[in-house]
C-alpha cells in the first residue's frame, strides 16, 4: 500500500495595497428631506485637482423608499468581455437564490458605456435572508456579512459593494462627477445623505471595485489617506471573520466600524476614541475616571488604532460622521446651514453650493463630528 | 595526563610599556598573569586565558593585547578547530563540555536579512523630536470586546478586565537568577528596570528579602522546576509571575548551580542549605501534561488573588506554536518564547548549539498560529534570545511580538564580553560570580546607569524608525509585516516569516 504524505505550507500573503490621496465630501439634511445628487456632484467637481480620474463614488441614504425593508445588494461583475461577466452573474444568481429571497432585481440604469473606461456589469438585488440549518441562529446582519465575505472571496469576478437597507453605493473608475453622470444620480435618485469621493491613487491599475465608498451593510466609508497600521488592523479584523479582499486600506475602517458599532454596540464617541485615541500624555493628565476608560480602550483595542494620515466620512442610516487621525494630517471642514450639514476636504466646495453658513469649523484631530437626523420617523416611513 | 589542546588565545605584552604594576595579575581570576620577582616582569600563561579582555581594558599602560591564537591545525572544512579541541577535551576528561552565553554558531540571523519600511510622499514621516511617539505597551490578556454602559455621558466599563503589566518601552530584562549572577548585577538590573518603567525578571533563584519592598514593583517573579525561594510573599511582591518551562539555550534540560556558588546569602534567598548544589530538574515534576500546567497557572492565580498576569516561558522548538496555543487556553496571560540564540549561565555545549529554532521564525509562526485560532488578544508574546539592537526589537514587534526580553545585551551593557566562561563562577567582570572580591568590581550605580542609558538609547532609536514609517504608536506596528521585506531569503523562509521579498 502506498501512502502519499502532503505537508501543506502556509503561503505568505502577497496582497497588494493601494495608496491614494483624495477629496471627500458629505451633505446631509437633518430633517430627512431628500434631495438629488446634483449639488454634491458640483461640489466634488470643484475639487477635481485632488483626484486624478482613477476613481469616484457616491453613497446615498434614503434612495429606495419602495424597498426600504429589503437589503439592497449592489453587485459588480468584472472580467474581460460580456461572457465572463455573465458567467460570474450566473454563479452569483445561483448562490443568491440558495441563500436569499430575491424580491426584485435589475441592472442599475446607466448612461453611455463609452463615456467611462471598461465598466463592469452592475446589478442590484433587493433581498431578504433565507436562513437555514445552523445559520438560523445568526442575526440577519451577521448572516448577510458572512455571505458577502463568501461571495467576495469565493466567486470570481463578483463583488458585493453595497448591502444596506434603503441606501446604495455607486462607484467606478473616472472622475466622481463622471461616475455620477454615468449612473444619473442627479436625475434618478433622491437621498437625505450623500457622501462622495474623488480619488488619486498612486497605483495606475485602477479597478471599479477599488473605488470608494467602501461599505458593509448600511455603513459606508469615504476616506482620504493612508493607513500605516493596515497590517495590524487587518489581522485583528480577520480574527473576527472579516476578509480583506478589496486591496485597499479603506475597507479596514468599514469593517472596524461594523465590528465596533454594530456587533459590539459601542457608541460613536467611544469608537472615535478607539480609532483615533488621545496621546498618552493627554490621557495621563485626565481625571481618574476618564483616564481609566481611555487607558482601557487603548489597551483592549490597540490593534484597531488607525495610524497614519486620514480623514473619513462614515455614513450610516440616519447618521453622518467625520473623523480625522489623531494628529490631523489630512483636512476636513464642517459647516451647517439651516437643516443642512456639510463635511468636505475643502471649504470652497461647500461654499459653492451653499454660499452662506450658520457655522463653519475645523474639527480637532481624533474628535468626531456627528450629525444625526432630527427624527428617524421620516426615513422609516 | 598531558593535555593535547593548545591555548585559544595568545597574550602579547609590550615590555617597553609595562610598568610591572601587577594590575593584570590582580584583575585575572583565572591566574593567567603572574609576577616573577627575580626578573621583575610579568609572565602570562596563554593556557589559562578566557579571552575576557579584562586585563586589556584595565592595563593603565595599554600594554597588553589578547588575540585568538595564530596556531592552527591543518585546515579542514569538516574537522574545524573547535571540533578537534572539544573532542580532545572529552578524550582527556570523559565529561560533557560545558559552556555559557548563547549559541555562537553561524545559523542564519534573520534580523540581518529583514529590512524596514519608511514613509515617502503619500504618508508623512513623523519627527519624534517634535511629535509624541508612543511606546507604551500592555502585557497580558485582553478581552474580545468591551461592554460599556453609557448613562447621561457617564461611561461605565462592565467587562471584567485581566491584570496587565504596563511597560513604557517594549524591552524587559530577561530572567537571570541571583546565584547565577552576582548580587550587584542582579540589583543593577532591578534598579534600572524601576528607573525605566519596565520590568526585570528574578529568574529561578528567588528575590532577596531586603529587595522585595523596593524593587517588587518592577519585578516579574519566576517559578521554575527547582522551586527555589518561593513563598507567598515572593509571589505577591512582584507584578507578574512567570512559570519557566524551558530556556532557549538548553531546551529540555534543567539547571545546575554548583555548591561553590551557593553562598550564605544565595542559600537564604533560595531557601536551601549553603554550599549544596541547587539542581533544577529538567521537567517540573508536577507538570507532565498541559492540564497539569493549567493547574499550576490557576494555583498561582489563586495565590496572587487573580491580581497578577501569569506568564509561561518556553523554548522555541519544532512544535512549540501548537503547544503555546494550548498554554494560552490553559490560562496563561503572557507567553515568553526563548529562541535558539538565548543565553545561559551554564549549559552543555551540544545542547546549546543544536537544539531549538531561531526566534525570528518562532515569533512569526506563534503570532500567526494564535491569530488563526482567534486568540491572539488573549495573551501577549514576549520574545527572547538573540536581541542585539533596537532594530532587532522593532523587527520582532513587526513580526508579532508584544515586547522583548534582553539578557545578553543587558549583561554586555554591564561589561560582559561573551567569553562564555560563566559556568566557572570566575567572571572577571563581577557579573556571573559569587566571589565577593570579583562581584565587588561591579558598581551598582554605574552598572544601572549603563543599563538605563542603553534602554533609553534603544527607545529613542525605535521612535526614530517608527516615525520614519509614519507611525506614532508602537501598537500600530505589532504584527504589521507589511513594513518588513526580506533580502537574500529562500521562499520557505519568507513564508514562515510571512513577509514579502524586497521589491515584491
Q: What is the mean pLDDT of residues B28-42?
A: 95
Question: Could you give the dihedral angle defined by the CA atoms of residues B461, B463, B468 and B473, in that order, rounded to the nearest 10 degrees?
Answer: 150
Cα separation, B504 vs B490, whole angstroms = 14
Q: What is the mean pLDDT of residues B11-28?
A: 95
Cell of B396: 520582532
Cβ-in-10-Å burial (0-12, 13-18, 19+) of A236 comes to buried
Q: At A117, is the pLDDT very low, low, confident or very high (cuts 50, 70, 90)?
A: confident
Instruction: Determine contact, residues B321/B366, Cβ cutoff 8 Å.
Output: yes
> Cβ separation of B504 and A305 shorter than 8 Å?
no
Residue A169 falls in the annotated catalytic set: no
pLDDT tops 80 at residue B118: yes
> Cβ separation of A228 and B499 shorter than 8 Å?
no
> Cβ separation of B148 and A266 shorter than 8 Å?
yes
* pLDDT for A242: 87
Nearest chain B Cα distance for residue A135, angstroms: 20
What whole-number percentage of chain A has pLDDT above 90? 64
pLDDT tops 80 at residue A111: yes
Q: Which tens digits make up the pLDDT trace of B315-333?
A: 999 999 999 999 999 999 9
Cβ-in-10-Å burial (0-12, 13-18, 19+) of B106 comes to exposed
Q: Output DSSP code: residue B121.
A: S
pLDDT tops 90 at residue A79: no
* pLDDT for A353: 92
Nearest residue on chain A to B141, judged by CA atoms? A300
Instruction: Determine contact, residues B45/B34, Cβ cutoff 8 Å.
Output: yes
Alpha helices in B205-289 (DSSP H): 209-215, 232-237, 264-270
More confident residue, B144 or B152: B144
User: Which residues of B fall within a CB distance of 8 Å from A10?
Assistant: 368, 495
Cβ-in-10-Å burial (0-12, 13-18, 19+) of A303 comes to buried
* pLDDT for A7: 54
Fold of A20-380: 3.60.20
Closest CA to B444 of B264, B186, B173: B186
> Cβ separation of A9 and B122 shorter than 8 Å?
no
Cell of B97: 563540555
User: Which residues of A fall within a CB distance of 8 Å from B482?
Assistant: 17, 230-231
* CB contact set of B437 (below 8 Å; sequence gap of 6+): none
Dihedral sign (CA B15, B20, B25, B28): negative
Class of domain B137-501: alpha beta
* pLDDT for A52: 84
pLDDT tops 80 at residue A177: yes
Cell of B197: 518603567
User: Which residues of A fall within a CB distance of 8 Å from B472?
Assistant: 307, 326-327
| Residue-range domain boundaries for chain B | 9-95, 137-501
Cα separation, B389 vs A28, whole angstroms = 53
Cβ pairs A/B, distance under 8 A: 123
* pLDDT for B44: 96
> Cβ separation of A235 and B155 shorter than 8 Å?
no
Task: Count the residues in chain B.
Answer: 504
What whole-number percentage of chain B has pLDDT above 90? 93
Confidence (pTM): 0.91
* pLDDT for B356: 96
User: Which residues of A fall within a CB distance of 8 Å from B469?
Assistant: 228
Alpha-carbon Rg for chain A in angstroms: 21
Q: At B480, is the pLDDT very low, low, confident or very high (cuts 50, 70, 90)?
A: very high
Q: What are phi and psi of B209, to 5 degrees?
A: -55, -40
Q: At A81, is the pLDDT very low, low, confident or very high (cuts 50, 70, 90)?
A: confident
Nearest chain A Cα distance for residue B108, angstroms: 20
Dihedral sign (CA B126, B129, B132, B137): positive
* pLDDT for A21: 67
What whole-number percentage of chain A has pLDDT above 70? 91
Q: Which tens digits make up the pLDDT trace of B88-105?
A: 999 999 999 999 999 999
What whole-number percentage of chain B has pLDDT above 70? 100
Catalytic residue among A22, A169, A244, A371: A22
**Bridge partner list, B157:** B148
* pLDDT for B386: 92
Q: Would you list the DSSP string of A255-315? A: HHHIIIIIIS---HHHHHHHHSPPPHHHHHTS-HHHHHHHHHHHHHTGGG---SSEEEEEE
User: Which residues of B fall within a CB distance of 8 Å from A202?
Assistant: 122
More confident residue, A247 or B424: B424
> Cβ separation of A14 and B500 shorter than 8 Å?
yes
Question: Which residue, among A7, A12, A287, would best test binding to B if mutated, counting the most B CBs under 10 Å from its CB?
Answer: A12
pLDDT tops 60 at residue A166: yes
Q: Output DSSP code: residue A129.
A: E
CATH 1.10.10.10 assigned to domain B9-95? The reply is: no
pLDDT tops 90 at residue B156: no
Cα separation, B383 vs B26, whole angstroms = 39
Closest CA to A231 of B391, B217, B481: B481
Element (DSSP H or E) covering residue A251: helix A250-257
User: Which residues of A fall within a CB distance of 8 Å from B138?
Assistant: 299, 302
Closest CA to B381 of B171, B194, B139, B148: B139
Smallest Cβ distance to B123: which of A266, A303, A308?
A308
pLDDT tops 70 at residue A16: no
Instruction: Determine contact, residues B51/B419, Cβ cutoff 8 Å.
Output: yes
pLDDT tops 80 at residue A12: no
Cell of A116: 467611462
User: Mean pLDDT across chain A, nearest whole number?
Assistant: 88
pLDDT tops 90 at residue B175: yes
* CB contact set of A329 (below 8 Å; sequence gap of 6+): A225, A308, A309, A310, B124
Q: Which tens digits make up the pLDDT trace of A311-364?
A: 999 999 999 999 999 888 899 999 999 999 999 999 999 999 999 999 999 999
Q: Which tens digits make up the pLDDT trace of A46-62?
A: 999 888 888 899 999 99
Nearest chain B Cα distance for residue A161, angstroms: 25
Cα separation, B66 vs B85, whole angstroms = 20
* pLDDT for A14: 64
SS3 B75: coil
Which residue has 461654499 as its cell numbers? A351
Question: Which residue, among A9, A19, A203, A228, would best test binding to B if mutated, counting the most B CBs under 10 Å from its CB?
Answer: A228
Q: What is the mean pLDDT of residues B442-471?
A: 97
Q: What are phi and psi of A220, to 5 degrees?
A: -125, 150
* pLDDT for A200: 81
> Cβ separation of A280 and B136 shorter than 8 Å?
yes
User: Mean pLDDT across chain B, nearest whole number?
Assistant: 95
Element (DSSP H or E) covering residue B81: helix B81-93
* pLDDT for A210: 80
> Cβ separation of A9 and B492 shorter than 8 Å?
yes
> Cβ separation of B495 and A12 shorter than 8 Å?
yes
Q: Which tens digits make up the pLDDT trace of B356-381?
A: 999 999 999 999 999 999 999 999 99
Amino acid at each position: 500500500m502506498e501512502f502519499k504524505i502532503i505537508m501543506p505550507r502556509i503561503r505568505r500573503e502577497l496582497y497588494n495595497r493601494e495608496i491614494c490621496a483624495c477629496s471627500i465630501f458629505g451633505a446631509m439634511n437633518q430633517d430627512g428631506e431628500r434631495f438629488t445628487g446634483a449639488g454634491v456632484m458640483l461640489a466634488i467637481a470643484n475639487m477635481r485637482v485632488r483626484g486624478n480620474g482613477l476613481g469616484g463614488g457616491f453613497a446615498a441614504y434614503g434612495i429606495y423608499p419602495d424597498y426600504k425593508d429589503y437589503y439592497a445588494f449592489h453587485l459588480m461583475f468584472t472580467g474581460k468581455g460580456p461572457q465572463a461577466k455573465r458567467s460570474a452573474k450566473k454563479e452569483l444568481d445561483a448562490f443568491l437564490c440558495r441563500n436569499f429571497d430575491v424580491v426584485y432585481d435589475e441592472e442599475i440604469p446607466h448612461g453611455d458605456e463609452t463615456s467611462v473606461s471598461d465598466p463592469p456589469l452592475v446589478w442590484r438585488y433587493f433581498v431578504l435572508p433565507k436562513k437555514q440549518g445552523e445559520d438560523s441562529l445568526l442575526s440577519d446582519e451577521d448572516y448577510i456579512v458572512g455571505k458577502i465575505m463568501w461571495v467576495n472571496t469565493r466567486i470570481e469576478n463578483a463583488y458585493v459593494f453595497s448591502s444596506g437597507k434603503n441606501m446604495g453605493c455607486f462607484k467606478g473608475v473616472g472622475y466622481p462627477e463622471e461616475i455620477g453622470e454615468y449612473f444619473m444620480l442627479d436625475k434618478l435618485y433622491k437621498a437625505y445623505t450623500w457622501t462622495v469621493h474623488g480619488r488619486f491613487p498612486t497605483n495606475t491599475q485602477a479597478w471599479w471595485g477599488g473605488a470608494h465608498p467602501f461599505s458593509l451593510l448600511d455603513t459606508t466609508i469615504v476616506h482620504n489617506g493612508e493607513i500605516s497600521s493596515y497590517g495590524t488592523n487587518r489581522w485583528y479584523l480577520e480574527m473576527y471573520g472579516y476578509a480583506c479582499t478589496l486591496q485597499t486600506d479603506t475597507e479596514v475602517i468599514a469593517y472596524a466600524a461594523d465590528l465596533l458599532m454594530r456587533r459590539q454596540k459601542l457608541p460613536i464617541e467611544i469608537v472615535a476614541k478607539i480609532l483615533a485615541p488621545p496621546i498618552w500624555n493627554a490621557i495621563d493628565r485626565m481625571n481618574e475616571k476618564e483616564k481609566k476608560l481611555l487607558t482601557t480602550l487603548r489597551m483592549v483595542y490597540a490593534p484597531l488604532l488607525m495610524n497614519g494620515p486620514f480623514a473619513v466620512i462614515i455614513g450610516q442610516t440616519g447618521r453622518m460622521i467625520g473623523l480625522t487621525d489623531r494628529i490631523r494630517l489630512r483636512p476636513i471642514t464642517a459647516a451647517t446651514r439651516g437643516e443642512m450639514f456639510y463635511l468636505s476636504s475643502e471649504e470652497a466646495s461647500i461654499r459653492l453650493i451653499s454660499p452662506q453658513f450658520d457655522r463653519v469649523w475645523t474639527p480637532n484631530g481624533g474628535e468626531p463630528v456627528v450629525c444625526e437626523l432630527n427624527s428617524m420617523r421620516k426615513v422609516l416611513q | 595526563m598531558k593535555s593535547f589542546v593548545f591555548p585559544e588565545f595568545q597574550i602579547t605584552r609590550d615590555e617597553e610599556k609595562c610598568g610591572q604594576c601587577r594590575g593584570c595579575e590582580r584583575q585575572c581570576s583565572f591566574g593567567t598573569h603572574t609576577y616573577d620577582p627575580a626578573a621583575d616582569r610579568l609572565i602570562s600563561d596563554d593556557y589559562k586565558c578566557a579571552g575576557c579582555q579584562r586585563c586589556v581594558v584595565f592595563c593603565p599602560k595599554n600594554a597588553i593585547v589578547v588575540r585568538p591564537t595564530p596556531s592552527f591545525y591543518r585546515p579542514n572544512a569538516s574537522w574545524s578547530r573547535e571540533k578537534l579541541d572539544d573532542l580532545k577535551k572529552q578524550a582527556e576528561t570523559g565529561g560533557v563540555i560545558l559552556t555559557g552565553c548563547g549559541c555562537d554558531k553561524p545559523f542564519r540571523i534573520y534580523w540581518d536579512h529583514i529590512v524596514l519600511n519608511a514613509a515617502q510622499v503619500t504618508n508623512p514621516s513623523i519627527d519624534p523630536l517634535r511629535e509624541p511617539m508612543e511606546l507604551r505597551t500592555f502585557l497580558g490578556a485582553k478581552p474580545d470586546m468591551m461592554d460599556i454602559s453609557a448613562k447621561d455621558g457617564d461611561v461605565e466599563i462592565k467587562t471584567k478586565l485581566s491584570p496587565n503589566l504596563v511597560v513604557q518601552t517594549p524591552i524587559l530584562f530577561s530572567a537571570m537568577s541571583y546565584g547565577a549572577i552576582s548580587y550587584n548585577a542582579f540589583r543593577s538590573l532591578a534598579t534600572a528596570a524601576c528607573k525605566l518603567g519596565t520590568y526585570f525578571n528574578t529568574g529561578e533563584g528567588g528575590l532577596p528579602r531586603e529587595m522585595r519592598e523596593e524593587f517588587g514593583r518592577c519585578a516579574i517573579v519566576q517559578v521554575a522546576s527547582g522551586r527555589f525561594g518561593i513563598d507567598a510573599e515572593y509571589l505577591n511582591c512582584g507584578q507578574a509571575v512567570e512559570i519557566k518551562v524551558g530556556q532557549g539555550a538548553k531546551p529540555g534540560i534543567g539547571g545546575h548551580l554548583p555548591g561553590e556558588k551557593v553562598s550564605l546569602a544565595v542559600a537564604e534567598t533560595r531557601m536551601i542549605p549553603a554550599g549544596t548544589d541547587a539542581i533544577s530538574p529538567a521537567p517540573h515534576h508536577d507538570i507532565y501534561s498541559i492540564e497539569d500546567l493549567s493547574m499550576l497557572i490557576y494555583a498561582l492565580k489563586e495565590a496572587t488573588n487573580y491580581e497578577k498576569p501569569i506568564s509561561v516561558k518556553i523554548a522555541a522548538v519544532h512544535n512549540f506554536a501548537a503547544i503555546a496555543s494550548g498554554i494560552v487556553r490553559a490560562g496563561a496571560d503572557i507567553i515568553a518564547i526563548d529562541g535558539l540564540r538565548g543565553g545561559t549561565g551554564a549549559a552543555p555545549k551540544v545542547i546549546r548549539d543544536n537544539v531549538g529554532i531561531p526566534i525570528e521564525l518562532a515569533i512569526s509562526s506563534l503570532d500567526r498560529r494564535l491569530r488563526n485560532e482567534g486568540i491572539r488578544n488573549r495573551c501577549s508574546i514576549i520574545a527572547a534570545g538573540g536581541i542585539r539592537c533596537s532594530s532587532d526589537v522593532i523587527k520582532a514587534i513587526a513580526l508579532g511580538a508584544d515586547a522583548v526580553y534582553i539578557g545578553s545585551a543587558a549583561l554586555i551593557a554591564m561589561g560582559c564580553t561573551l567569553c562564555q566562561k560563566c559556568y566557572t563562577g570566575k567572571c572577571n567582570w563581577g557579573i556571573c560570580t559569587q566571589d565577593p572580591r570579583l562581584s565587588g568590581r561591579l558598581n551598582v550605580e554605574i552598572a544601572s546607569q549603563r543599563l538605563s542609558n542603553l534602554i533609553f538609547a534603544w527607545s529613542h532609536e525605535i521612535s526614530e524608525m517608527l516615525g520614519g514609517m509614519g507611525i506614532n504608536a508602537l501598537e500600530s506596528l505589532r504584527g504589521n509585516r507589511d513594513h518588513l521585506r526580506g533580502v537574500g531569503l529562500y521562499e520557505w523562509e519568507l513564508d514562515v516569516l510571512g513577509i514579502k521579498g524586497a521589491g515584491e
